[in-house]
Chains A and B, each alone.
Chain A
């Protein structure tokens, strides 16, 4: 295995051992450390149009870094910004994984990435968050805030949208509120995704919006002078 995922599930990183000439592509800012013969190339991945699509939807940096081992084997460690886990998915040719955009960390160069808009209700409550479709062949690395709780959907399953990391393309989803209007104001449970069909769903055990809400009162206040 060219890679090892260490310190799972609390502060997982990918420790990637690249063969000479081999590459791995990662989100900007993910590099922790690397051996001196690794060449890093920064580019807008998937061409300008795809990058523009992602940029328009806000939030995500449009640039990715390609790390290549030159003149010998090399080592690069990659980490996400959020505390939590990293999981590798080996995708067969043509099979896809739907990934929440900020959960995408890295992939081998043969993985195709396509952005899929989250839907009018806004699948996710954060700015510029959308669904990414990763199609094999290749390996895609997904990161989570918290640990990853995998669940096999066999009919119907409900997941709070803040907690969705990824799911197989064989399941369908619809967004709704749980428990009616009263719950929306008092229940705290906002939007949920109702999954149906057969396939795997990956949930994260913490919610980024809860952390954002917690940190809110600690932020400096804008000075309107």
Chain B
């Protein structure tokens, strides 16, 4: 009988059951994860280009002259201009947003959610072909959508830039996964429904609703003028709050207790936090339009709800902290825990910052500035993306039955991401406040538009540096992932990785038989 380090037998039925579940998820989940990491790299490149363009407007505005002349010889008229147009800031930036939001974040969320769902339902994945088909459709949609945005077919509605035919594809793909999720839930092994399952079920349910409504009211049958703005930000904010956040929290509520081997501090609080999030988050969208052309009652209710977000956020923060208490040394040992705990801490920060940004006075200063961009990166990167990284570090070895090939690459990834995102949020926050203060105080003669641009320039340059750090981190991550998928990592035998004494225990009996 094989035992793990702690002397616990590892060939139990539980272990076999998990192995079966993992084997059933292998193809769709690995495909989702691999494709999302591909889009992460593409999205980072676009983000970096857009960032450089903000402090160096002549960077990459057109193809090099010699190449343009060469291309002109054999391509139809207008090709060169068409390509030049693709490189303009106003197209690269939405391409960046949509690639990272849908290509990376949503796809990795789906991969992680599918794995978590199967594992928590303790049942092998049902209809893996359906999930794989959804994944293929999803990726085709992202590819077409990216080309459409670069080619000038963007809808110019923030967070929904993909043209209508792409949103239909995404919606269908998403609906397939949602139906799968419900089916999976129905066919789960009887027993308690863990809080992560609540979060995932809710997210799988909310997002198609959000996405469908927003697309209908904004793109397929657009409603009038400024009511569009409110639907736009109702969607934009809820995509974060009711899709990325629940998946991120589902992963955090599973991986933190699971990795350190200690149940969540207060399960009651975790359930409470879930329902409080559902209640308050959905009202928050209006705080994107403070001072905008909308009724005051609407904006005010959004501000109130934003402040109420303190409740679920603090509940979650306290809960995670108390779970981790006494186990912080585990951060040295576990890559998953490092990323997930970083993400969970950032969730608290990002949410508190977000709530504070709903105050009218603070909002009027920061609203149209880089401060907001810093905030969205704190939310989507420091919180959500970091948790996805952590989850992937846990999931992939269990699906490939291999260890990660390189510790160094994991460390480069973690520190590159951590320092990169901290730097980015810092410089954008400070730069944004300076920008907003100068913008709103034109009576001071020094606060000309010229000076605003000159003063924010070094901050934007530092942001590009942080982007380069993230790029390095992502390349290290992608490399490690490619290697493990190609079968480079050390092979491990059982379904329970890391616990096994494969090096010592399993080797010893062999020696004795010799």
Is chain B found bound to chain A in the same assembly?
A: no
- Chain B residues with CB under 8 Å of chain A are none
Listed in ascending order, the chain A residues whose CB lies under 8 Å from chain B are none
